[in-house]
Amino acid sequence: MTKGQKLDLSDHAVLAVPSGEPGRFRVLETIKGKPGVGTILVDQGLPAVEGGRPLLMLRNEPGQRWEILGAIGAEYGPWLRQVVEADGVERPERQRSSPWSFVPDSLTEAEWIKRIGVVVANLESSDPLAAEIAYDEISRAPYSALRLLGPQLDAKRLSAWIDDPALASRRSGYTLLLGLTGEQAEAEVLEEKIEQAWSARDADNLSAMLAADLELRGPARVAWIEKMYLAEHQRTLPEIRAALLALSVHGGADGKVSRKRVVEAYRNFIRVRSQMAALVAVELADWEAWDATPDYVDIVRSKVVEDPAGQFAILSYLKSSPVAAGQAALFARQNSPE
């Protein structure tokens, strides 16, 4: 769980400083809920903290305990309130189903657009906690919302962050963003890196690079991915999964590369990699892409998928499919002698 998610789920969030006594903190600013400014928080279970920068502290009502997320500059208080206000938690349907439920409902796309518009300015902020919260929110946002960030991004800064060894853990997110703002020069560098990865059979950061390349080059690049990764039998499973994930990003957003084209690529994959056909079954069902029903009927009849989890994914797709052939194949599978 990211710190941004914890902030979403908390009932109370404050900036506070140690009051000079163990387990006691004085509230400087209320970010969410209560208590108010000047209140002394008492929680003997918290570790001793030296004085200095304010601490971002959270509490949930069921637990009645405070958690310290980290130190952050006092000047980030208004920004943190904006982050909180952008999540739409006041909507009745967003409330927890019970006092013991800590699972948040997903933000709507409109809420995500507002949220990432707030956090993007603090990517790689000089304040480490602000930078971490900003990146984590960007990294978990839906791609359809991220695509609107293009005008607010700087390709040169993103390229520098991608090449910075100290930011290796954030490389995939910044690579994905580069596809939204880069131009010819960035596309050429990116494709050189992809070629190097292909030669080395390296799947590290591959899904982000392929997704960014698709954004920069458009749907014509899908055929290249099909040829070089999905149909190429020397590719490793991590590479294949990375290529499918890159396509999934675009299929989910239905933007620069249409979902229809991604579904077509998935169907081609099912035909040429029948033993791996289950890898795309759940997503096709989520998209209600029932055109693949005949493909999965053939897979069931041939019994080429031996993995029980894969069989389950395919049969679940067919069970959901409104296409009659899918129901017939499922019936035949369930009633065939083993």
Residue 99's pLDDT is: 31
Over pLDDT 70: what percentage of the chain?
89
**d(C-alpha 49, C-alpha 25), whole Å:** 10
Q: How confident is the model at residue 42 (pLDDT cuts 50, 70, 90)?
A: confident
| pLDDT at 194 exceeding the cut of 90 | yes
Contact between 135 and 173 (Cβ < 8 Å): yes
**d(C-alpha 317, C-alpha 285), whole Å:** 6
Output the CA angle 84-89-95, nearest 5 degrees: 140
Residue 229's pLDDT is: 98
Q: Tell me the pTM.
A: 0.87
Contact between 221 and 215 (Cβ < 8 Å): no
User: Using the 8-state DSSP alphabet, how is residue 336 labeled?
Assistant: S
Q: How confident is the model at residue 335 (pLDDT cuts 50, 70, 90)?
A: low
Instruction: List pLDDT tens digits, range 138-147.
Output: 999 999 999 9
Instruction: List pLDDT tens digits, range 96-136.
Output: 333 323 344 468 888 899 999 999 999 999 999 999 999 99
Place of tokens 């892409």: 289
Largest CA distance in the chain: 75
Which of helix, strand or coil describes residue 299? helix
Token representation of residue 74: 């006092």
Place of tokens 């502290």: 57
Residue type, 198: W
Q: How confident is the model at residue 43 (pLDDT cuts 50, 70, 90)?
A: confident
What mean pLDDT comes out for the span 1-21? 90
What mean pLDDT comes out for the span 24-53? 87
Give start and end residues of each alpha helix (H) in the chain.
3-9, 77-85, 109-119, 128-140, 143-146, 155-162, 171-181, 184-200, 206-217, 220-225, 237-253, 259-272, 281-286, 293-302, 308-320, 324-335
